[in-house]
Chains A and B, each alone.
Chain A
Amino acid sequence: MKKSIVYIICYALPVPVILISLFIGSTGQADVGTALALAYKSVFAPALSAAEAESWMMIQNIIYNVRLPRVLMTFLVGAALSVSGSVLQGIFRNPLVDSYVLGISSGAAFGAALAMTFVLIPVSLAAFAGGILAVGMSYLVARSGSGIVSIVLSGMVISGMFAAGLAIVQYLSNPYKLQAIVQWTMGNLHAASWQELQRVYGPVIAGLVVVYIYRWRLNILSLGDDAAKATGVNPGLDKWILIGCATLLTAITVAAVGMISFYGLFLPHMVRMMLGADNRKAIPASIFLGGTFLLVIDNFSRSLFAFEIPVGIFTMLLGGPFFIYLMRKNKLNWN
């Protein structure tokens, strides 16, 4: 693909996609035509009729208080998940992992559900603790084996254990809370609000900035520990800083919108196919394309059918076949 087209896709596309997303909704209210007509009238023909004034108010309300926070939230979540996937794939030198495969999402979901049910500590903090616990366990379990498969398998096992923990929490919680937890585990963006966004944007941007700074170091780490040490780098510290960021990004998004699985797996592949493996280019592209593409998926999830499909189910449906495709592609080094 031509370089200029790639850069347009990554860095110019977000603007129109964000604008279009503001006018797409499951209710069919506030579509582009009506909104623009009323906006035009309110500016150039100050005397709106009472009915028009009312629907103009409502459209403004929907766009500003419902859709704008949701669009921004979706963008941040997409950027966070795709960057955390890029980081984890680089550090584990494994194109088959993301925060879901490694069990970070399940760990974070377990922590968050625990905090939601029993209200002990803030949900994000509990999610982060669960995520760190899960990735630490996956790492330790995988160390006893070797190669690309053992990390995926150990991630699966750890993920399964935390999923069981989550089921126990669901079993123990009362019906009202249960429904909230079930909806949230499927990955739902419809609850996004300005308050929710306020809790999310700080840590997500902080995580993204640290990864952006470390993006070249990620190139070095992805050649392996010995190769990193041979060039005079201590990989231990860099690794844990980056894994910490990936976990933070995942945990914050899980706490806010639930589990959106496999998104962090396939987005880094899309970026690598377009821009190559060099993380100096791939990380910024992951941030923007990650945000944009999740918006596109979310637009489909809320407009394709009369009811809204949770976005996590949508990404799972896209990501599953993609995972199988990667597995079958012989280029993978299984040892």
Chain B
Amino acid sequence: MEKAIDITDLSFSYGRQSILREVNVSFAAHRFSVLLGTNGSGKSTLFKAMTGLLSGYEGIVKIKGTPVRSLTHKQRASQIGYLPQFYQTVFPFTVEDILLTGRAAFSGFAPAKRDRALVTQVLAELGLERLRQKLFPELSGGEQQMVMIGRLLMQDPEIIILDEPTNHLDVYYQHFLMNKLKAFVEEGRTVIAIMHNPTLAYQFADDFFFMLDKMVVPAVSTAEQELEMLKAVYHTDFLHISHEGLKIVLPVGEGMLK
């Protein structure tokens, strides 16, 4: 198995509070991996370590065999595209302005002509050509998220890391985005995402990981064990439903399952 990201003995704490404890995990290249876990379980911290935004941790994070700390900003930008959980801009930038910032590591003090051509290409790939001159703060949440994904594609990274990409999206955009992520993997990229919706994740992703007790545990193979794992992570019962070859995982409320 070719490893896109390989983490050994990663520990991190904020002051006295331990966030991650000896995490050992690797994410396969050219796969769509999803990390599931509850709020505050350390998922975002782990992702920040993976993208080189976190410092002060113990252990080693390797991107395709090279420690992330020894990569320059520019090298990192061409390997990894990262969609942070929070971003906001109060200024009326156009979608084109936002996309061009994705070229920051490569184009120095001004975007080049080919960057503009790349904007056209990325917008076409995402089917968002009509948004090019629109003002970013006036777009819907789903459109904004797609633009930020486009910004990440401007870097043309091999590995795409997303922190809760479907948050605040309506059902249409949730599926639109998941389909795009799946298409990225088919193009040969690697996608790793934190998600909060197991049902959605199980419909689209290839590999599953769970955040449990400050550690990352890979999914187990059989269906029953998987349901137990989900219950251990979310303290909620889960159900498997099969419908015309489609396997759906659903959370069910306490006491509903007899």
Contacts and interface: CB of A to CB of B under 8 A. Distances in A.
Contact of A232 (B73, B83, B86): B73
A280 B110 contact: yes
A95 interface: yes
Interface stretch (B9-17, B34-42, B100-108, B222-230): B100-108
B90 interface: yes
Which of the four size classes fits the interface of chain A?
A: 20 to 34
Contact of B84 (A89, A94, A226, A331): A226
Interface stretch (A69-77, A160-168, A209-217): A209-217
Contacts of A89: 91
Interface in A195-218: 213-214, 216-217
Contact of B109 (A217, A229, A276, A333): A217
B195 interface: no
Given A217-B109, A220-B101, A229-B53, A93 B84 contact: no
Interface of B: 51-53, 73-74, 76-78, 81-84, 86-94, 97-98, 100-106, 109-111, 135, 137, 151-152, 155
A331 B88 CA distance: 13
Contacts of A280: 110
B104 A233 contact: yes
Interface of A: 89-90, 93-95, 148, 213-214, 216-217, 219-220, 222-224, 226-234, 272, 276-278, 280, 331-333
15 contacts: A93-B91, A216-B110, A219-B97, A220-B104, A223-B89, A226-B84, A229-B51, A230-B51, A230-B152, A231-B155, A232-B106, A233-B73, A233-B105, A278-B93, A278-B94
A179 B135 CA distance: 50
Given A228-B104, A232-B155, A234-B73, A219 B93 contact: yes
Given A216-B110, A231-B101, A231-B102, A277 B87 contact: no
Given A222-B89, A230-B83, A232-B155, A276 B101 contact: no
Contacts of A227: 84, 87, 101
A277 B91 contact: yes
Nearest to A282: B91
A223 B87 contact: yes
Given A216-B110, A231-B104, A276 B53 contact: no
B88 A216 contact: no
Nearest to B76: A232
Contacts of A224: 84, 86-89
A333 B102 contact: no
A278 B90 contact: no
A281 to B, nearest CB: 10
Contacts of B155: 231-232
A217 B108 CA distance: 8
